Chains A and B, each alone.
Chain A
Amino acid sequence: SQKIEQNSEALNIQEGKTATLTCNYTNYSPAYLQWYRQDPGRGPVFLLLIRENEKEKRKERLKVTFDTTLKQSLFHITASQPADSATYLCAPGGVDSSYKLIFGSGTRLLVRP
């Protein structure tokens, strides 16, 4: 069955450092992969989408990589700030024509001032 793995343990880093979050998937080949941020009691907010033919994508302090051979995506936040503290969800999609996304369990990021 399709499986998405994100580190379930919280990532605790010092302000100013780079946070790196990992998303691994098995048993399917997504056409794209999305990353979302979710704050407690709120809906997810879209951050970045990377397609299978793209190796890397950037947006301000965010960078996403997509390795279809390793079946892995890495999500980086450079110069992290306490306001970046949240849960980050990866969601591979485009497996079929339904636009469905299957979400990983998310990784909670804590940035210490």
Chain B
Amino acid sequence: GAVVSQHPSRVICKSGTSVKIECRSLDFQATTMFWYRQFPKQSLMLMATSNEGSKATYEQGVEKDKFLINHASLTLSTLTVTSAHPEDSSFYICSAYPRGISNQPQHFGDGTRLSIL
């Protein structure tokens, strides 16, 4: 149980393109989802907290107009990297927190490798 699916797993695109990444909780409902970014050999850096039906909460230094987050349902959150540039190339990972249960682990997707040429 507690499976999180992230799609696509890999994206290669030209500079200036907008890229959408989907994060789905397959067998549970998630009021809260999180988006992380990870550079090579570094830890996960939290970008934003996505709450179903409300605006995302962004961490300090993360541009909300650059990284658009939509959490339209209890099983789906999307991250759109708008007008992506080479410096946006990274490994993006989402996680989902089961609805209505406290002090539980987050369940992670398998990440999206984004490469901007």
| A residues whose Cβ falls under 8 Å from a Cβ of B | 31-32, 34, 36, 41-46, 49, 51, 89, 94, 98-106
* SS class, residues of chain A in contact with chain B: loop
| Contact (Cβ within 8 A) A106 B93 | no
Whether a CB of chain A sits under 8 angstroms from the CB of B108 is: yes
Using known A-B contacts A103-B43, A103-B44, A104-B43, determine if residue A42 contacts B103 with beta carbons closer than 8 Å.
no
| Contact (Cβ within 8 A) A43 B110 | yes
- For the complex with contacts A43-B111, A44-B93, A46-B108, 6 further pairs of A-B residues with Cβ separation under 8 Å are A43-B108, A44-B44, A44-B95, A99-B106, A100-B34, A101-B34
B43, B105, B108, B113: which contacts A41 (Cβ < 8 A)?
B113
| Contact (Cβ within 8 A) B107 A46 | yes
Q: Report Cα–Cα, A102/B91, bound state, in Å.
A: 17
| Contact (Cβ within 8 A) B106 A46 | yes
Residues of A within 8 A of B91 (CB): 41
| Contact (Cβ within 8 A) B49 A34 | no
Q: Report Cα–Cα, A79/B44, bound state, in Å.
A: 28
| Contact (Cβ within 8 A) B109 A43 | yes
**Could you tell me the distance in whole angstroms from the C-beta of B59 to the nearest C-beta in chain A?**
9
